[in-house]
Amino acid sequence: MPRKSAPLLLLLFVALGVGWLLFRPIPHSGRVVRHLPTDVIPPITRYTGTPAARQPAASAAPTVSASPTLSASPAPRTPAPAEHARVALIIDDCGQWPTIERGFLALPIALTLSVLPHVRYTATIAQEAHAAGKGVMLHLPMETLSGLDPGPGTIATSMDDDQVAAQVEDDLDQVPLASGVNNHEGSKASADARVMRVVMQVLSRHHDLFFIDSRTSAASVAANVAGESGIRAASRAVFLDNRADLAYTESQLREAAAIATRSGSAIAIGHPRETTLAAVRALIPEFRAQGIAFVLAGSLAR
């Protein structure tokens, strides 16, 4: 080989060596690391109890899944609690204090106003309650054991059958929008089976009137006589406001809720008082959260 070709061969060998170093195969480790920006990490779905309670974890910004297989599907909506218990709220003695009574009419719940006959706002408040979609009842005055005067239109045990019937008819005429009746006072009259039979006979002549026994006396026979006479009836479970005290009335409302939860329903009776209105308004969200429904009184009469 000529001497002048030696440098060329040397350069060729050097070039081949460099090429081999640059392009030689690298052994495969078997691991692939994929670096994803933090804004495409898929959200975590936490299990909080029943399948219907699965909810995506809160995120400060919308997230994008890294791959279709890791994408979190929309979680099912948790159903509202079933209304397994019902409370019928009756506000007695209405027709006397329209301002506070209108406060009850403005509440976003079903309730029933029981209106006294022969008082100043009898017709007005009954019409307004009916127009507001609330229940309307006649609050029928009855004789007391204490001698306290229940007011005009009272049913007394000294009346004969015809007098009792005539007075009940007159009181019903005062509240023609009433779908039912409950007793105002009446610790003496409601314990008199004869008087109660006459009252129920009159109610039976009117279309589908029901009777709620206010239970102002443990000796009352009103609900039993109503049932025997074919009148739909029920009895009061709780008085809400024997004291005009907010905390006391709230505790009585919770007692009504507890009874309804155990037995399915309860009737609670209150009066047109600021503390009673405030207590009912305050506990509406609590009742709803527990799945307890406010209903009209007539729906609980059987």
CATH for 192: 3.20.20.370
For residue 109, being part of any structural domain is answered with: yes
According to the model, what pLDDT value does residue 26 have?
A: 39
pLDDT confidence of 216, banded at 50, 70, 90?
A: very high
Domain assignment present for 19? no
What's the pLDDT band for 60 if we cut at 50, 70, 90? very low
- Whether 10 is covered by a domain: the verdict is no
> Is 6 domain-assigned?
no
pLDDT at 84: 79
174 part of a folded domain? yes
Per-residue pLDDT at 54 exceeds 50: no
Whether residue 282 is contained in a domain is answered as yes
Q: Which of 58-67, 156-165, 172-181, 207-216 has the lowest mean pLDDT?
A: 58-67
Is residue 84 included in any domain, yes or no? no
Q: Does 51 fall in a domain? A: no
* Tens of pLDDT, residues 84-104: 799 999 999 999 999 999 999
To the nearest whole number, what is the mean pLDDT of the chain? Answer: 81
- Identify the residue whose tokens are 């039912």: 180
Domain, as residue range, for 149: 89-300
pLDDT band with cut points at 50, 70 and 90 for residue 109: very high
How many domains, the chain? 1
